[in-house]
Amino acid sequence: MKTIIIALQLFCSATVFAQTANWNDSPANWNNSISNWDNSSANWSNSPSNWDNSASNWNATNGVYDNRGNRIGYETQAPSGVTNIYDNNGNRIGYSPSKR
């Protein structure tokens, strides 16, 4: 009986951990959501009109490039720690969830 209880506890804790990891990565999580102002390209920090994000700014350090060296967009970091990836027109094309 004791073995069954221990096995059940291990299974439940592993399940909770897996769900938590999936939730942290999920686009349904508010921190990752495009509906969150911090992730919107309408926010000046993320806007392609912001010189720091501009493809015309040769000194920009946040460019995203394809495997041929062509700039395909830029990335910004939200206060929550999420890294947002936008194409050069400001369309959000991906994100990397916060590791917090």
pLDDT in tens, 6-49: 555 555 444 444 555 689 899 999 999 999 999 999 999 999 99
User: Quick check: 2 pLDDT over 70?
Assistant: no
User: Quick check: 80 pLDDT over 70?
Assistant: yes
pLDDT in tens, 50-60: 999 999 999 99
Q: Is the dihedral of CA 81, 24, 30, 52 positive or negative?
A: positive
Q: Which two tokens stand for residue 95?
A: 């994100």
pLDDT score recorded for residue 13: 46
User: Quick check: 71 pLDDT over 60?
Assistant: yes
pLDDT band at 88 (very low <50, low <70, confident <90, very high): very high
Cα end-to-end span (Å), the chain? 38
| Cα 24-83-81 angle, rounded to 5 deg | 60
Number of domains observed in the structure of the chain? 1
Integer Cα distance of 45 and 25 in angstroms:
22
Which structural domain range is residue 46 located in? 2-96
